[in-house]
Structure 1
Amino acid sequence: MKSSYVKGLLYIFTSCVMADVNIALKKPTKMSSIYDPKLSEGKDYLCCNSTYAVDGEKTVWTGSDFLCAHSDINVNQQSWWAVDLQNVYDISVIDIYGRTDCCPNTLTNFDVEVIMPACTCNRWNSLDEGDVFHCHYQAIASHRIIITCPPNTRGRFVRIKRKDMESLGICEVEVQGDPVYRMTESGLSRTADACGHIGHGYLGPAIGTSEANNRIQCTVMCFTNTACTAAEYDKKTNVCTLKGDCIDGTQSSLFQDNNKDVFFIQ
């Protein structure tokens, strides 16, 4: 399958992220598993969702509700938690808060990784196919870890992954970094990449159509629409179709069509 990076003039963005801004706040998250108190304790209370680690609150308990991300223990599965920063950043600092009431062992023996995803539409399932930058290994239990990543640590995802089969508990993750203005083939810059498949269409759900002079203009339209995952350009009709997330979570949603080019937003 032929791939290409979008060529030509896109946009030059002058805005920047200040060093003390938490770029992980309220961003999409995912976890290997979620502890269920109904099954484990026979109790019903709010608990353990992966989003609690980026909600801006470092509180562990509110009444009977446990407001930290917490995985379950599964045989032969390493627990992990990840956040999608929704852009590519040079990551400088990662601040991780654990439980303060008890159980510091839920935040121990883990790697902290920054990941540049592979060129695929289902980014969560392709984390291990991307470029992984290892920021830190935490051997001992701690209620809080402030990590300074090595220079040139760059990516879109931050993942915290245990090296054993025990549970992982995280109350808050704060990430600091600067957006990367990655180079396009014309030498001009943009804050994100478009990973393209020439001669292919995409069966993802359409969220809008319009005319475009070329695939560059079509891809720019997708860049500026936060709901857009892929830009499909019909070279024969000059129709640009903006599309959302994958239908089935894999690249099987791609199909060969010599009249079309599709670009996924990285």
Structure 2
Amino acid sequence: MHSSQFGEHVAGFANDGHIPTIVNYCQHTDANDLNPWWQVDLQSTYNITSVTIANRFDDKPAVGHRLSDTSILVYNSTPSVLTEFTLCKFIPGVFGCTIRTFECDGVAIGRWVRITKPTEYLVLCEVEVTGTEI
């Protein structure tokens, strides 16, 4: 699930098991979404230890900045404005056109993982959550 959708770039593209190299197969929020997010329901509670994110790395390297200042949040209950969360990781600065793995900064236990950023598009080509089921 994501906060908005640009064209045919559905939320499921971010966790379909394929790491594409072009945006055609990546999740993508709408241009007018100024607080975009993407989330996955893990269907059970996990102690989440790391999250791997693949950004697009096609022939447009200038898009590497689109994952700037990204947060990885973990929720015990359905995410909403009022739901408490644990910050797994804040990723400051430019992400780049690459694949990166982020270890959670502390204990992050929950069922939902949300990736969010404060401005413009959110494009995720693949997200892999690692942890131990509780």
The TM-score, its normalising length taken from structure 2, stands at: 0.87
Q: Which residue, out of 137, 140, 164, partners 2:93?
A: 140
Q: CA deviation at 1:109?
A: 1.7
Q: CA deviation at 1:93?
A: 0.8
Q: Which residue, out of 51, 62, 69, partners 2:12?
A: 51
Runs (4+) off by over 4 Å: none
Q: CA deviation at 1:108?
A: 1.5
Q: Tell me how large the CA RMSD over aligned residues is.
A: 1.6
Q: CA deviation at 1:140?
A: 2.0
Matches of 1:105 and 1:35, distance apart in 2: 18
Bigger Rg, structure 1 or 2:
1
Contact 1:58/1:97, CA 8 A, preserved across alignment: yes
What residue number does 1:176 align with?
130
Matches of 2:69 and 2:106, distance apart in 1: 23
Matched, 1:87 2:44: yes
Q: Which residue, out of 99, 104, 115, partners 2:64?
A: 104
Identify which of structures 1 and 2 has the higher relative contact order when contacts are C-alpha pairs closer than 8 Å and 6+ apart. 2
Q: SS where residue 24 of structure 2 aligns?
A: strand
What residue number does 1:130 align with?
83
**What percent identity do the matched residue pairs reach?**
29
Unaligned residue ranges in structure 1 (runs of 5+) = 1-29, 37-46, 118-122, 181-266
Q: CA deviation at 1:129?
A: 3.1
Matched, 1:73 2:42: no
Contact 1:90/1:153, CA 8 A, preserved across alignment: yes
Matches of 1:130 and 1:79, distance apart in 2: 17
